[in-house]
Amino acid sequence: MIPESFVQELLARIDIVDVVERYVPLRKAGANYSACCPFHSEKTPSFTVSPSKQFYHCFGCGAHGSAIGFLMQHAGIGFIEAIEELASSAGLQVPHEERNRAERAKKAPLTEVMARAMHFYREQLKATPKAVDYLKNRGLTGEIAAKFALGYAPDGWQGLQQVFPDYNDPALVECGLVIVNEQGRRYDRFRDRVMFPILDQRGNVIGFGGRVIGQGEPKYLNSPETPLFEKGRDL
């Protein structure tokens, strides 16, 4: 968990104009900056960035938020990842609150969630000829796919709803399987990807790596850091 005080400190230290400008060329327009919106297609600029209020707003599509929200929306990453990236660009170290015993005890259901997701992805692979063909073309047999529990995350925004009827369950977000955007909408992190489960020493699924089948970015997408999965320790 990242303390809220750190989020506030980070927002105070960075300038949203600098952050947006890394991705979108901005033009000064009075007190604000403007550009053609990166989130919808347009010919005349309706996207503005306010240095005094430290937010962006699009009068065309309604996109709106802080520097953190911009990075999440523009790079398609989660809240914690956006914080990490902004902190490193500002030279700040992200403090992670000590996990107490209650939080550690919550780990068990999370591994169940991950196991259920893995089974779902495996079933989806069997039912998706283009994903099977992709693996075959890379020299991976059905035997290998079974041995490593390879799977396929279907194309679509909420594929996991098929196995998690309670799609709003916070555990899905905590596991890094579902992303919540600034508008509160939830969607699957992994879509139209071949899925490689990452296991711990006891054989629990603690994360996934997903590779796009066709064109698309990023080519490889890994689970974010979660209570189950700490990249520095587990990879």
Among 28, 40, 147, 231, binds Zn ion (CB under 5 A): 40
Does 31 contact Zn ion by CB under 5 A? no
CB of 75 to Zn ion, least distance (A): 16
Does 39 contact Zn ion by CB under 5 A? yes
Which of residues 39 and 187 has its CB atom nearest to Zn ion in the complex? Answer: 39
CB of 63 to Zn ion, least distance (A): 5
Contact 177, 168 (CB under 8 A): no
CB proximity list for 116: less than 8 A, separation 6 or greater: 163, 164
Does 58 contact Zn ion by CB under 5 A? yes
Give 129-142 as a DSSP string.
HHHHHHHHHTT--H
Does 61 contact Zn ion by CB under 5 A? yes
Contact 68, 7 (CB under 8 A): yes
3-state secondary structure (DSSP) of residue 97: coil
Does 144 contact Zn ion by CB under 5 A? no
The alpha carbon dihedral of 98, 102, 103, 105 has a sign of positive
Binding-site size for Zn ion (CB under 5 A) equals: 7
Per CB under 5 A, residues contacting Zn ion are: 37, 39-40, 58, 60-61, 63
